[in-house]
């Protein structure tokens, strides 16, 4: 969900739809190695990753050869479209830009990596596709859990904190499912 490799189209959409960022800068720490981010940056990153999740999972639902991978991808589309809609609603109500900050560089490092990943997910054999998609899902959901845990613990915005807290069980379940499905594919 959050890898730079799976967000090129989402980043392009964000850059195309840029919006203003005149909002409170409540800081949220993602981890001990990560600098704090504001509530607005959480909205931005969660939106980007959510859009990328839906896009990559729609592709996986079409291209995957493994039935478990297809089912997982379909679940990701359904769950993340719902979550994205809720976050967009909250962001609008709270005055946060859900499409990224004007002039910002959301997840822009690694643009070439993102282009390469998109090619990998578009062109490989079915077996390679399944393995690559599931490996990215494990990494993306690990990052998502960290982001949402930090937001749930430290946000000063009650609605965003409640949203993040409510999303954590599903994100953790997605991570467990992704690990379970990815494990035999990676060992092949």
DSSP 86-137: HHHHHHHHHT--TT-BTT--TT-TTHHHHHHHHHHHHSS-HHHHHHHHHHHH
The mean pLDDT value for 88-99 works out to: 84
Q: Where do the domains of the chain lie, and which CATH numbers do they carry?
A: 4-17+40-100+112-187 (1.20.1260.10)
Rounded to whole angstroms, how far apart are CA atoms 168 and 106?
22
Rounded to whole angstroms, how far apart are CA atoms 177 and 175?
5
Kind and range of the H or E run holding 66? none
- What angle do the packed helices 67-94 and 158-187 form, to 10 degrees? 160
Band of pLDDT at residue 13, cut at 50, 70 and 90: very low
Mean model confidence pLDDT for the chain: 76
The mean pLDDT value for 9-24 works out to: 34
Q: Is the pLDDT of residue 174 over 50?
A: yes
pLDDT in the model for residue 187: 81
**Contact criterion met (CB below 8 Å) for 136 and 3:** yes
Kind and range of the H or E run holding 156? none
The mean pLDDT value for 20-40 works out to: 53
Rounded to whole angstroms, how far apart are CA atoms 115 and 109?
12
Q: Is the pLDDT of residue 133 over 70?
A: yes
Rounded to whole angstroms, how far apart are CA atoms 11 and 20?
16
Q: Is the pLDDT of residue 148 over 90?
A: yes
């Amino acid at each position: 969900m959050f890898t730079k490799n799976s967000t090129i189209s989402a980043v392009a959409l964000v850059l195309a739809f840029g919006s203003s960022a005149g909002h409170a800068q409540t800081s949220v720490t993602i981890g001990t190695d990560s600098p704090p981010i504001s509530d607005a940056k959480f909205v931005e990153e969660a939106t980007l990753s959510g859009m990328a999740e839906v896009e990559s999972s729609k592709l996986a639902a079409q291209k995957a050869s493994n039935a478990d991978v297809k089912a997982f991808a379909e679940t990701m589309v359904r769950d993340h479209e719902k979550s994205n809609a809720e976050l967009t609603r909250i962001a609008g109500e709270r005055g946060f830009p859900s499409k990224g900050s004007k002039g910002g560089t959301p997840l822009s490092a690694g643009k070439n990596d993102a282009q390469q990943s998109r090619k990998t997910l578009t062109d490989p054999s079915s077996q390679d596709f399944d393995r690559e998609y599931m490996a990215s899902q494990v990494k993306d959901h690990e990052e998502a859990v960290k982001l949402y845990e930090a937001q749930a613990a430290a946000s000063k915005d009650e609605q965003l904190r409640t949203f993040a807290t409510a999303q954590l069980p599903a994100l953790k379940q997605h991570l467990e499912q992704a690990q379970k499905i990815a494990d035999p594919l990676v060992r092949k």
